[in-house]
Amino acid sequence: MAAAAHTPAAALARYAALGQTLGMILMIFGLSILLPLSLSHLLDDGAQLAYDEALALTFGAGTALWLLSRGGEAELQTRDGFLLVALVWTVLPAFATVPLLLYIPNLSFTDAYFEAVADTVPLGRMGRPSDVAKACLFLASEGASFITGANLLVHGGGDDPPPVTGQG
């Protein structure tokens, strides 16, 4: 019986709940494309086809993933949360690149992915090594001589970072 738990089918069944959840998230993300699609139709900016195809692809992929992972009786475990967050932060921007790739000629996937992720940060750009270097220079300067026991977050004001506990 222990050997059966190591079969590919058992491994896939273990992640069925994760697949269902990610599939639902993709379907919701696909439906969120309806807003820019409607605006594109209203303004008649010529990007309607790109949004139509992105909506169909994203919602279709989410539906397929959800359908393929149905039937598993496993529930999400706490440790699945880490994998789910990593997948959402990598997969959703990949699908967000679709309208950009379809509408903007000669745009590479890397540039489209970068644009999709940078739009989630309030400063509108990704952090650069020089941003971190400037923070380090500040902390090493006389101006920071009265700072003790503080965390300096250098993330452009984007997603709230996880809480920092003082336990060690």
Q: What residue spans define the domains of the chain?
A: 3-118, 128-168
CA–CA gap between residue 62 and residue 92 (Å, rounded): 11
Residues contacting residue 125 through CB under 8 Å, at least 6 positions apart: 118, 156
Report H helices in the chain.
Answer: 8-14, 16-32, 34-43, 48-68, 80-103, 109-118, 129-140
Q: 122-155, pLDDT tens digit by residue?
A: 666 667 788 888 888 888 888 888 877 667 777 6
Distance between CA atoms of 80 and 19, rounded to whole angstroms?
Answer: 11
Q: Which residues contact 111 (CB under 8 A, 6 or more apart)?
A: none
Percent of the chain exceeding pLDDT 70 equals 78
Query: What's the whole-number mean pLDDT along residues 1-8?
Result: 57
Residue 5: what pLDDT?
A: 55
- The predicted structure's pLDDT at residue 139: 84
pLDDT of residue 39: 93
